[in-house]
Structure 1
Amino acid sequence: MTDSFHHEGGLASTAPRPVRKKFAKPPVKVACLPCRASRTRCGGQEPSCSNCLAKGRKCGYLPSKRGGPRKKKQKLSPSPSPDGDLSRDEAYVTDPSAELDEAPGMFGQIDVLSLPGAGLRHLDFPQVASIFQGYFTGDDNSSHVHMSQIPSPLSTTQCLVRTYGSEPEILNAYYDFIHCYFPILPPRVSPQCRDRPLQFNTSPSNSSSEPLMMYKPRSPLSMAMSAILALIPHPKDPEPTSPSSVLQRRTYSHAFAQLANSIIDSECDLELSSTDPGQALSAARPSVDREKLHPRTPEDLETLLALLVLSVYEYSQRGNMLKMRYRAGQALALALDKYLHCSLEEDTFSEARRRAWWMTYYCVIQGSIVSTTPPTIVINDPQFTTPYPRFSADAEGWSILMQAQQVLVSATSFIADLNKSVYSQSGMHYMYERMQQLDSWITSVVAQVDMLPMISSESDFGDSRETIAAQSIRAISRIKLSSAQIKTHRLRAFSDIPIFIKRHCDLTAADPNDPTSEMKNSSLHRSNEPTNVGCSCSSLDQFQRASSAEYMTPSDSSTSSDIHPIVPQYPQIPFASGFPYSPQHSTKICLRAALAIARMFEGLPYPQPLTDTTQSDNRPLPRTMPSFACCLMQSSYAMFMIYYKARVANQFSTDSESELAAESTDHLVKELRNGLERIIDAVSNYSHAFEALDGMRDEIQGAYQTAFPRVSL
């Protein structure tokens, strides 16, 4: 039987096969949009092809960009064009006829912006080339210093690193560079002094060797502060962006951070733990014998405050969210051990204890927000009875910041639970109710932010930094509330974009025509974030929800399949009808929130130390402590999605609507472009000091250059 089988198989394999033409009729040069979207062969008849006539749908054509000689990408040059200098507004012209074939590639650069830890680069782990490398327009050789490209330590260039020669000078620099964004200490007790970083040249050395320190801080808090301050370019560094300077700042910063951790560990050790463990827990804690860094802050709080600074350092410089949460968790353990969460005493150190507790609370929740993990504490625990600290310029500032933090972590939890409900197709009614409650809560806190601040009767010792800190805290609160709005409404706003459903496959429902079908395995991507902003929200009224088949493009299935599993396309979303808000309403909210985030970041103050010299490159000094940089990514994500949505709506508008649609789209695109430029400016300013944010800048810039290839930043 076996021989017979092989014999028959051999005959079958050698039998002549009929020659079949690939096409009985050559394909048309240009297919209509509906046929291309549904991957159906088009007859090419005008004004309507036979397929569209049979299905009663609108038929339209766009010129094809396929075929012809390949063109090399033109490098973006900062030099003026032959026609003269053009402004950004003049250089960009909205092209409503751009093909939908570009959408999947553009979307591939957008959807990554919403993921937890989006754009962060990690100094503690080997770097992997970006999945979008080579897709961005422009030269592959970036002018920025990438963390994966470690500068050569063999350079003979002399570098300057921002270090200080005494504890008072470090404390003064804290108020100049950190306090406005991260007020962990009470107000100054002495006037502002001149900023005088040490001026000694440091030769680049191997990262394994310990850098030379002219002065070694005594407190773990001054050590942690020095780790942040060392990242800020020295005012007399002739080449602050050179690879050798970046490496030296990184080396010194990490050395300070490691020394701070070493002191923290030693101060938390019990003296008898190594000799008599049985008696160690009953023994008294070792006393701290050193001079206070701040006269109104107890020495035993400095260890806790150092952990809070190091938590931000791990996120913004090292790109390590796990260590960020770990340091905040250590601080929480110390705070609970010292009963800071229920401290009601009124004495010289009351304000210090209150700031220590509520900034610990803030950092613990921030770790949950950026990593999209459940908080390790109950956010409204009745045991947390410590009064809020006070700003003399804004009596309600601390209360608003903590409410904004609670709102944002609740919105983060909501979007994760919503994704799970959509995936399982259960509990959606409860999620709709939560969405309404969350939206009302956000609106209530926004109203508080919009009210004029109440002036406290307490003195601020004449320190303008405390007033600026109060203003910054209000702006940061608005940023967080706007991010919460995007998280609350992003699914409803963008679920009518088929590629959004296709990429975020946890949002795709089973095929309604096949009750036995199951969704393909997919990971649940839990995404990460207003002032009254004048914008072209009215132009969003033209957006009408269309079926997925009308928007799909032939190249969808082959784009970035390594990020999200490919899932079937479905014409309807079964859960969409139950939402308490329409897609148009949620899109408007996301637009206002995204533009508000851009404007709030632009309005954050720059450090303004007293100094006799100016920065060598004439750029503003970098802002610090960007633990909430994920809000930048949320804002850019929302604006890119709305830009994509506007393009699609414009291309599918009827002839009678096309002129009005083009005008409103031009105005909307201009606002989105300006907002994205503000976001890029903000993240670029942060990245001058914090290397982990280089990745955020590059991701946003890459998507921006793809969306607006004719505009140079």
Structure 2
Amino acid sequence: MADAFHPEALTASAPPRPVRKKFAKPPVKVACLPCRASRTRCGGQEPCSNCVFKRRECTYLPSKRGGPRKKKQKQKLSPSPSPDEELLQDAPNVAVPGPDFEESPGMFSQIDVLSLPGAGLRHLDFPQVASMFQGYFTGDADTTHVHMGNVPSPLSTTQCLVRTYGSEPEILNAYYDFIHPYFPILPPRVSPQCRDRPLQFNISPSNPSSEPFMLYRPRSPLSIAICAILALIPHPRDPEPSSPTSVLRRRNYAHSFAQLANSIIETECDLELSSTDPGQALSSVRPSVNREKLHPGTPEDLETLLALLILSVYEYSQRGNLLKMRYRAGQALALALDKSLHCCMEDSEFSEARRRAWWMTYYCVIQGSIVSTTPPTIVINDPQFTTPYPQFAADSEGWSILIQAQQVLVSATSFISDLNKSLTSQSGMHYMYERMQQLDSWTNSVLAQVDLLPMLPQEPDFGDSRETVTSGSIRAISRIKLSSAQIKTHRFRAFSDIPIFIKRHCDLTAANPSNQSIDMKQRSPSHQGHGLSNVGCSCSSLDQFQRASSAEYMTPSDSSTSSDIHPYIPQYPQFPFASGFPYSPQHSAKICLRAALTISRMFEGLPVPQPLTEGRQQQNRPLPRTMPSFACCLMQSSYAMFMIFYKARVAKQLSPDSESEIAAESTDHLVEELRRGLERIIGAVSNYSQAFEALDGMRDEIQGAYQTAFPHISV
């Protein structure tokens, strides 16, 4: 009994004070931001168990109440630390790069310390703390976009604005301004274009990772999904849209909208009997959706499906998550088949909406296969898909061309995969030769349709009601896809798929930074047919391009791009079965060059959003384009241009002295054309990355390769 009244026993047996349950601070010195925001107990690990279980980002900020941080020790030595020092202090337990991250003296030696999954995309579902050191180790201190992952600037005191809207009509109007020209899931406008009026709500930047506050909560899952995309576009009054604080706040708002849309979708797809009387759920009728339509020409039951299509692109271009991209598209496909949209032959007021819902679902499912280089989950020419194509009033063939371009591109992607298998097994090459010819013929046939501009009477297009801008954009996207298919078809024959990029981008072979100096002349014939992964090394040095016989370096008789440009394009040592290909390396290289330059011009020519704004809101910087689900075409184009650039340089070096002046003049014209094409590609991906962070990986890799190829020119 005496022990029961001992002070230590009282302390050990006393229950915790109830007052501590009121506060978000868990019994650890530093809690992660998601646990703080949700007021749950944090374990203090990195990542903590809560974040691992819920599959969310686990990030930490310095505690204002102290904690095991070195910041206080440094403040004694430096009372006023610089922003860079504070950022370094905010990243504990980050290993210092060792010898593996030292720059090798090669041509393509830029190594990204964050070799993340996602086909070269930045994957926001993984911790990005180490990316804050990128500017310190690569010397890229002049970049205009954020590279600090989840760590905001602690000294930022400016206002923080996020593009949100206060009503359904305003959200719909913004959809037509920013999304519809590239992703027309809804019928055309039914009312004139209105002034774009995002809310002027000033968000405190003191804690940009806190739970976002919504002044207006959209009613429909479609309008919520649209808001997830719109929130990524910088607010017109944001003075520092590229600051870490603004980027992080936009990211959090967009993801909150996406999660809310997913929650509503799950709720609408659920059955009440499933939880109360499961035995009767299988025979019950799915309840109808009862809410006001977002678009008068689109029934309410399609809004869930359309929201999933937008979320599919969001997962790819913003989160860098290919698995979730395909999962959302698969959900939409299941809903579309359940509603029999694939064989909808009705003619009613909702016919156009249903046709667009089906073919955009088809488009997104195929796109998921393209970017992930996986077989399509549907038969692309299934005879059961009898729903007529939608119609643009300004271009009756636009939808047909888009779907055909998508079919060609996914077929070219499958060709690359099957070619790799044939090279590995050293069998079935004759069949691959035939497929190459068929693909080339099919691509040229659809390209001929693209070149036939619509011959329709020009009528006044009030607010793009006839979708003139949208149909022109869709034609450009179709040409981009077809040109990318050309590169995929001819890439191996032209360049032997020699890798130049460190990370994997779509179906491009990734370079191995630890093995970049394989001499192709020393490879034995027994190792020459072991697949694309063993083709060679990255273009880390020109030493690999050994002098070959004069027959291997032939000058093309005609120009690839214009009458002024006569590129000297050498051939690489070929595989033993190379003579069976239906096209010569010269011919394939010229097709890749023409296609790559076409892609760069089409991306540059895509329309930029033009919302109606107040004069004082006009900014000098162009607004970002949206819905870049086809961004892999940028990588295909840049790969082809870099390979042509280095091949031309080698050809110039190996040309006889008697032809040196001719070779130099021709090479200079070609190099200048390639430089302009690469700058157009960098400009396009930089425009997209203003809003979509996952494309940072593509932008940085192309920029790094460009600066290596053209060290005296800045972009």
Same topology, TM > 0.5: yes
What does residue range 558-573 of structure 1 map to in structure 2 within 5 Å?
Answer: 572-573=574-575
What does residue range 468-483 of structure 1 map to in structure 2 within 5 Å?
Answer: 468-483=469-484
CA distance in 2, matches of 1:634, 1:253: 29
User: Quick one: which amino acid aligns to residue 582 of structure 1?
Assistant: S
Task: State the partner residue of 1:697.
Answer: 699
User: Quick one: which amino acid aligns to residue 178 of structure 2?
Assistant: F
Cα pair 1:137 1:702 within 8 Å, conserved = no
Gaps of 5+ in 1: 1-101, 548-571
Matched, 1:408 2:435: no
CA distance in 2, matches of 1:502, 1:333: 34
What does residue range 67-466 of structure 1 map to in structure 2 within 5 Å?
Answer: 105-107=106-108, 117-127=118-128, 138-139=139-140, 142-146=143-147, 148=149, 150-152=151-153, 155-204=156-205, 206=207, 209-455=210-456, 463-464=464-465, 466=467
1:543 to 569, 573, 579: 569
1:666 to 668, 687, 691: 668
Task: State the partner residue of 2:642.
Answer: 640
CA distance in 2, matches of 1:154, 1:496: 47
Cα distance 1:346–1:696, how it changes in 2: closer, same or farther (>3 A)?
Answer: same
1:312 is displaced (CA, Å) by: 0.6
CA offsets per residue over residues 146-177 of structure 1, 9 Å max, x none?
25353146744321111100000000000011
Cα pair 1:307 1:328 within 8 Å, conserved = yes
CA distance in 2, matches of 1:671, 1:514: 37
Cα distance 1:511–1:703, how it changes in 2: closer, same or farther (>3 A)?
Answer: closer
User: Quick one: which amino acid aligns to residue 569 of structure 2?
Assistant: F
User: Quick one: which amino acid aligns to residue 602 of structure 2?
Assistant: M
Instruction: Compare relative contact order (CA 8 Å, sep 6+) and give the higher one, 1 or 2.
Output: 1
Cα distance 1:207–1:321, how it changes in 2: closer, same or farther (>3 A)?
Answer: farther
Cα distance 1:381–1:103, how it changes in 2: closer, same or farther (>3 A)?
Answer: farther
CA distance in 1, matches of 2:112, 2:651: 19
CA offsets per residue over residues 115-161 of structure 1, 9 Å max, x none?
9954310111124868x968997445744202535314674432111
Cα pair 1:211 1:255 within 8 Å, conserved = yes
Gaps of 5+ in 2: 1-102, 502-508, 539-558
Give the length in aligned residue pairs.
Answer: 580
CA distance in 1, matches of 2:111, 2:452: 35
2:630 to 617, 628, 632: 628
CA distance in 1, matches of 2:533, 2:386: 43
Cα distance 1:128–1:518, how it changes in 2: closer, same or farther (>3 A)?
Answer: farther
CA distance in 2, matches of 1:371, 1:262: 26
1:575 to 574, 577, 594: 577
Cα distance 1:503–1:255, how it changes in 2: closer, same or farther (>3 A)?
Answer: closer
The answer to which of 657-666 and 407-416 deviates more is 657-666
Cα distance 1:431–1:116, how it changes in 2: closer, same or farther (>3 A)?
Answer: farther
CA distance in 2, matches of 1:231, 1:498: 33
Cα distance 1:110–1:421, how it changes in 2: closer, same or farther (>3 A)?
Answer: farther
Cα distance 1:347–1:488, how it changes in 2: closer, same or farther (>3 A)?
Answer: same
CA distance in 1, matches of 2:457, 2:117: 38
What does residue range 600-619 of structure 1 map to in structure 2 within 5 Å?
Answer: 600-613=602-615, 617-619=619-621
Cα pair 1:594 1:639 within 8 Å, conserved = yes
Report SS of the residue matched to 2:273. coil
User: Quick one: which amino acid aligns to residue 121 of structure 2?
Assistant: L
CA distance in 1, matches of 2:701, 2:424: 28
Cα pair 2:500 2:639 within 8 Å, conserved = no
1:239 is displaced (CA, Å) by: 1.2
Cα pair 1:316 1:626 within 8 Å, conserved = yes
Cα distance 1:289–1:513, how it changes in 2: closer, same or farther (>3 A)?
Answer: closer
Cα pair 2:412 2:489 within 8 Å, conserved = yes
Task: State the partner residue of 2:658.
Answer: 656
Cα pair 2:298 2:350 within 8 Å, conserved = yes
1:659 is displaced (CA, Å) by: 1.0
CA distance in 1, matches of 2:457, 2:104: 53
CA offsets per residue over residues 251-304 of structure 1, 9 Å max, x none?
111111111011000000011011221211211112211100000100000000
1:535 is displaced (CA, Å) by: 3.8
Cα distance 1:630–1:212, how it changes in 2: closer, same or farther (>3 A)?
Answer: same
User: Quick one: which amino acid aligns to residue 622 of structure 1?
Assistant: P
Cα distance 1:650–1:306, how it changes in 2: closer, same or farther (>3 A)?
Answer: same
Q: Report % sequence identity.
A: 80
User: Quick one: which amino acid aligns to residue 190 of structure 2?
Assistant: V
Cα distance 1:462–1:512, how it changes in 2: closer, same or farther (>3 A)?
Answer: closer
CA distance in 1, matches of 2:663, 2:475: 37
Cα distance 1:468–1:292, how it changes in 2: closer, same or farther (>3 A)?
Answer: same
Task: State the partner residue of 1:597.
Answer: 599
Cα pair 2:599 2:637 within 8 Å, conserved = yes
CA distance in 2, matches of 1:409, 1:268: 31
User: Quick one: which amino acid aligns to residue 329 of structure 2?
Assistant: A
Cα distance 1:329–1:205, how it changes in 2: closer, same or farther (>3 A)?
Answer: farther
2:587 to 572, 585, 591: 585
CA distance in 2, matches of 1:508, 1:348: 65
Cα distance 1:206–1:611, how it changes in 2: closer, same or farther (>3 A)?
Answer: same
CA offsets per residue over residues 531-553 of structure 1, 9 Å max, x none?
x994468523x334354xxxxxx
Cα pair 2:491 2:497 within 8 Å, conserved = no
